[in-house]
Structure 1
């Protein structure tokens, strides 16, 4: 299970039409997981203020069952590069929060991953 949530101050019209499928493939490859376990959610038009400025900014969350922690520094670099290239939001204009979810805390298809 991978859930990639991206809150951004930029308007919906500035989100490329292929951003969702590209994000899904990107995060699946980053984590080495099948894409059918990936959910991507983009929330545009957010009223946000980061670092004393209202320049384009965001807030990112990555939830995964296991394998976070040691890899977060590498993930941060790659996610930063991806979002800066695709959305034009500078890497110093968003934070990434990682959530390592226990198997029994994630439901899917009428059961959990435990």
Structure 2
């Protein structure tokens, strides 16, 4: 159930057309999860600033059942590289918040993963 939410100040037309599909494959590989369970959400055109500047910035959330915790430092490095290369937003211009979700706290297909 990995969910990758990317909120960015850049406009929709600055986001590559294939970004969500590339991000889906990237997150599946990063977490070792089947891509069929990955959701990617990109929210462009956000009114935001970071560090007192309105240069391109973002806010990122990664939710998953497992595959987080001790690996977050490595995940943060790889996510930072991915977003900087694909969206042109520098790694020091967004925070990444990780959420390790319990199986019983995630609903899917009329039930939960518990």
Is the TM-score greater than 0.5?
A: yes
| Distance apart, 1:49 and its partner CA | 0.6
Counterpart in the other structure of 1:40: 40
Shift of 1:77: 0.2
Partner of 1:78: 78
Structure 1 residues 15-30: aligned runs within 5 Å = 15-30=15-30
RMSD: 0.4
CA distance in 2, matches of 1:12, 1:67: 30
Alpha-carbon distance in structure 2 between the residues aligned to 1:28 and 1:66:
13
- Structure 1: which 4+ aligned runs deviate by more than 2 Å? none
Q: TM-score, normalised by structure 1?
A: 0.99
Unaligned runs of 5+ in 2: none
User: Hey, what's the Cα distance between the residues in 1 that align with 2:105 and 2:3?
Assistant: 13
What is the CA–CA distance in structure 1 between the aligned matches of 2:47 and 2:97, rounded to whole Å? 19
CA distance in 1, matches of 2:42, 2:67: 23
Q: Please, what TM-score do these two structures have when normalized by structure 2?
A: 0.99
Cα distance between partner residues in 1 of 2:22 and 2:68: 22
User: What is the CA–CA distance in structure 2 between the aligned matches of 1:74 and 1:81, rounded to whole Å?
Assistant: 11
Secondary structure, aligned partner of 1:97: strand
Aligned residues: 114
